[in-house]
Copies of this chain bind each other. A is one copy, B any other.
Amino acid sequence: MLRFTTAGESHGQALVGVLEGIPAGLPLLAEHIDEQLKRRQQGYGRGRRMQIEQDAVELLSGVRAGETIGSPIAMLIRNRDWKNWQETMDPAPRPEDPKRKRAVTRVRPGHADLTGLLKYDRVDARDILERASARETTARVAIAAVCRRFLAEFGVRIGSHVVQLGDVSTTRPEPMPDDINAAADGSPLRTLDAEAEQRMIARIDAVKADGNTLGGIAEVVATGVCVGLGSHTAWDPKLDGRIGGNG
């Protein structure tokens, strides 16, 4: 069975992902993963961070001579900005400077800051937000890239595109492009409707000026999937529940 774990703070030394259960003998190169990490860093209206980081994976284990060997695949993705954050995020105590650097004491609405401070009994919200961060998804993208590589052996292909942003809906192209990701990656908003995209961008710029953000809906399409994933026999293996639970 596949299982995975991630670790790492947003401005820590590195992000770590460990994936267990991939069979031996799968051809796997760092390039397969870096390609997906790069795709993650694109997009309109995203933070400055995306320009700083150019993520590259280091395969620490589980891969030898370009092939998996069955053991856990540990992946390290260094935070390039670490040198500027080491003082703030150092695991070792710094007695000469008892006050923590860059402490965050004003919690942000809509974030895990306040809940995290209460649950974990912290005073500096940085202890929470460093982990409750979009940067955490980097390790998951790396893990998913290995799974994607594995599924490709069986002809399974996964693509996604944005179908709604705020109140702007898209019209689906007819027929859908053969390679959805290739088509969507050509758009800064990853949508397949160029006309709607213009209105989306206008909406983003407008709410950004107000200091606000927008939600949306993305559609994920998997082709070549075999019949019978999930099961009706119990409450927890149902496929929609597993997808809804990210698990």
Residues of B close to A93: CB separation below 8 A: 29, 65-67
Tell me whether A115 and B7 are in contact (CB under 8 A). no
**Is A54 interfacial (CB-CB < 8 Å)?**
no
Contact with B along A1-32 (1 / 0, CB 8 A): 10111111100111110101001110001100
**Is A59 interfacial (CB-CB < 8 Å)?**
yes
Tell me whether A116 and B232 are in contact (CB under 8 A). yes
What's the Cα separation between A70 and B233 when bound, in Å? 7
**Is A228 interfacial (CB-CB < 8 Å)?**
yes
Tell me whether A232 and B72 are in contact (CB under 8 A). no
Identical chains bound together, number: 4
Chain B: minimal CB distance from A205 (Å): 28
Tell me whether B234 and A245 are in contact (CB under 8 A). no
**Is A163 interfacial (CB-CB < 8 Å)?**
no
Q: Is the interface of A mostly helix, strand, loop or mixed?
A: loop
Tell me whether A69 and B122 are in contact (CB under 8 A). yes
Chain B: minimal CB distance from A28 (Å): 8
Asked if A241 meets B234 with Cβ closer than 8 Å, knowing A60-B7, A71-B7, the reply is no
Residues of B close to A76: CB separation below 8 A: 60, 76
Closest to A9 in B: B61
What's the Cα separation between A75 and B5 when bound, in Å? 13
13 more contacts with CB within 8 A, not counting A14-B61, A112-B232, A236-B246, are A5-B72, A8-B60, A13-B60, A29-B93, A65-B92, A69-B120, A69-B122, A71-B233, A76-B76, A116-B232, A119-B227, A128-B232, A244-B246
